[in-house]
């Protein structure tokens, strides 16, 4: 019996508590929750290991900066064969997914003149070589007029040919600035390894990508410095096919190129 309560009062109080939902006795004495000591702090979890710091250029996976990845891959190539393989393995450019072939180069490595064109067209994409369509045949005739050819054996009369882009843009559209920027490190390394005396920037795209200036009809015929070498901008043979009247200016550019070769012989 509880102190001060008779049997009937204690029973009535117990039944009232049961109606309120108190069905289990926890302790015989009341507990003042405000007198409990403060809960002990939770143990500190071990710190997560810091993410490894990857030097710029080493991460070529998904999410890597395309230009940084291209520069790292290009600079790691000790020769042209390795550079070609690195370019073929480069997966940051969407153009690669729609192309049949990676168009690397044609002609003789070590030639005194290196031609840098724009991008492969349909014929180039099929054959895997630059300048093999109608524009390519015209290019061969143009340079044959000053005794230069891509199939020449000796470096003095040989040509070496590549493009800014190794993959054909859909519908032969103009390459974007982003596409040129991500592939320019391969072109720069290509020039270093090929070692030409002179460059020919054939068309508006290589001038924009390498010189940072467009407007090939204004640039053509004026010697500039590009990638530590004398460079001559020229209009693309495809433009000459559309604009035959411009062939006279192209002939003047070829004569200027021939004269420059003699000057630095």
Return the minimum-mean-pLDDT range out of 21-30, 82-91, 141-150.
Answer: 21-30
CATH fourth-level superfamily of 66-263: Uracil-DNA glycosylase-like domain (3.40.470.10)
What is the per-residue pLDDT across 186-212, written as a single tens digit (0 to 9) for each? Answer: 999 999 999 999 999 999 999 999 999
3-state secondary structure 206-245: HHHHHHCCCCHHHHCCCCEEECCEEEEEECCHHHHHHCHH
pTM above 0.85, yes or no: no
Annotated domain spans of the chain: 66-263
**Closest by CA position to 158, among listed 168, 147, 149, 167:** 149
What is the per-residue pLDDT across 155-175, written as a single tens digit (0 to 9) for each? Answer: 999 999 999 999 999 999 999
Cα(189)–Cα(185) distance, rounded to whole angstroms?
Answer: 6
What is the per-residue pLDDT across 223-254, written as a single tens digit (0 to 9) for each? Answer: 999 999 999 999 999 999 999 999 999 999 99
């Amino acid at each position: 019996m509880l102190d001060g309560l008779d049997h009937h009062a204690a029973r009535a109080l117990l039944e009232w508590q049961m109606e309120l939902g108190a069905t289990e006795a926890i302790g015989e004495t009341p507990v003042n929750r405000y007198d409990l000591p403060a809960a002990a702090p939770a143990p500190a979890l071990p710190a997560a290991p810091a993410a490894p710091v990857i030097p710029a250029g080493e991460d070529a996976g998904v999410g890597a900066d395309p230009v940084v990845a291209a520069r790292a891959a290009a600079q790691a190539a000790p020769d042209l064969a390795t550079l070609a393989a690195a370019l073929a393995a480069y997966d940051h450019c969407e153009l690669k997914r729609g192309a049949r072939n990676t168009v690397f180069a044609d002609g003789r490595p070590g030639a005194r003149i290196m031609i840098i064109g724009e991008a492969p067209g349909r014929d180039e994409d099929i054959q895997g070589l630059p300048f093999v369509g109608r524009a390519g045949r015209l290019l061969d005739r143009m340079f044959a007029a000053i005794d230069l050819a891509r199939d020449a054996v000796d470096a003095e009369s040989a040509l070496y040919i590549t493009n800014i882009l190794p993959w054909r843009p859909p519908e032969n559209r103009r390459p974007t600035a982003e596409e040129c920027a991500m592939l320019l490190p391969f072109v720069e390394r290509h020039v270093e390894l090929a070692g030409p005396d002179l460059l020919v920037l054939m068309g508006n795209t290589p001038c924009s990508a390498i010189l940072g200036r467009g407007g090939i009809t204004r640039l053509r015929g004026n010697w500039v410095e590009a990638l530590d070498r004398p460079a001559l901008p020229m209009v693309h043979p495809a433009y000459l096919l559309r604009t035959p009247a411009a062939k006279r200016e192209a002939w003047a550019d070829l004569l200027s190129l021939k004269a420059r070769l003699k000057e630095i012989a």
